[in-house]
Amino acid sequence: MKYGAFISLAAAALMGGCASTTTVDDFRPTLELIDIEAGEKLAVLGRRDAGHYETDRSFIDCLGKRLARSNLQVISEQEFVDALYPWFEPRTAPKALKRLKRIMQDPAVREKVQLEKIRYLIWLEGEVETQGMSGAMSCGVVPGGAGCFGYNSWEKSAVFEAIVWDLVDLTEEARIRVDSEGTSYLIGIVAPIPLLTPVESQACEGMGEQLRSYFFQEEG
């Protein structure tokens, strides 16, 4: 009984340690809601120009789905880059508004954006990093069975930045930075038990909520 209670307490303490801390910083030139008409769409795109990493597609999908649940029409990344091929390929994608304005000077591009009713573009950049691995675990196999003993822990941090561009007015509407960090554990009590901190989904939730608040009035 005492042993069971001890394990429950230890697990609860560790689960408490798995909680993540998420910070959302944003900048907007105005406090007014972002204007979006019925039928107009948003596109969520990841930056692909960095050599050593690419913005995680699972984060892009997560944010797209979260915005779609808020009654916003979201066009997928692949649909968007195919619809405007080749202007959003890694070689050609605009990094700043100046370049976007130049691309939008092409009547064919402008017509396509109007035809597809794509009003806003959300650029995402960032990644999830793992660091500070500590602890030790050993696993073994004996004729009677197998098991692992010990523990490992590691820090995970997710840092993502979003920039919202208006494809009609060709202006920057908002910038958001989300930092989410937490510690994950792997406990070996015969079987290895992972207690993972969902930093990426926390960052997605934080960014999704912030973006949603730009388009819709907060209730209550």
Partner 1 sequence: MKSWSVISVLPLAAMALLAGCTSISVQVEQEFPAVVAKPRDMSVVLVMDREFRNYLARPNSKTRIQFGAAQVEALSKAFNGLFAQVEVVSSKDQAGPDTDLVIVPSVLEVQLSTPSESFLNVYEVWIKYQLDIETADGVPVDSWFLPAYGKTQHSYLLSRSTAIEDATVVALRDVGAKLMLDFFRIPAIHGWVQQRQAMNSDS
Query: Tokens at residue 112, please?
Result: 């396509």
107 binds partner 1 (CB under 8 A): yes
Query: Could you say which of 18, 24, 94, 112 contacts partner 1 (CB under 8 A)?
Result: 112
| Euclidean distance between the first and the last CA atom of the chain, given in angstroms as a whole number | 47
Q: Of residues 18, 24, 109, 168, which one binds partner 1 by CB under 8 A?
A: 109
Integer Cα distance of 169 and 119 in angstroms = 9
> Is residue 47 within the footprint of partner 1 (CB under 8 A)?
no
Residue nearer to partner 1 on the CB measure, 28 or 112 = 112
**Choice between 60 and 122, CB closer to partner 1:** 60
Minimum gap (Å) between residue 142 Cβ and partner 1: 10
Total of residues contacting partner 1 (CB under 8 A): 19
**Nearest approach, Cβ of 190 to partner 1 (angstroms)?**
19
Residue 120 CA: distances (Å) to CA of 151, 166, 172: 46, 5, 10
54 binds partner 1, rule: CB under 8 A: yes
102 binds partner 1 (CB under 8 A): no
Closest approach, Cβ 102 to partner 1, in A, equals: 11
85 or 216: CB nearest partner 1: 85
Nearest one of 156, 150, 152, 155 to 135, comparing CA atoms: 152
Among 34, 43, 44, 84, binds partner 1 (CB under 8 A): 84
219 DSSP 8-state letter? P
Helix pair 107-116, 97-104: axis angle to 10 deg: 90
What does the buried/exposed string (b/e) look like for 90-99 if buried means 16 or more CB atoms within 10 Å of the residue's CB?
eeebbeeeee
Q: How far is the CB of 58 from partner 1 (least distance, A)?
A: 10
Contacting residue, 19, 23, 57, 130, with partner 1 by CB under 8 A: 57
How many Å is the Cα radius of gyration of the chain? 22
What whole-number distance in Å separates Cα of residue 180 and Cα of residue 21? 5
Other CB atoms within 10 Å distance of the CB of residue 29: 10
Task: Based on the shown chain and the rule CB under 8 A, indicate whether residue 49 belongs to the binding site for partner 1.
Answer: no
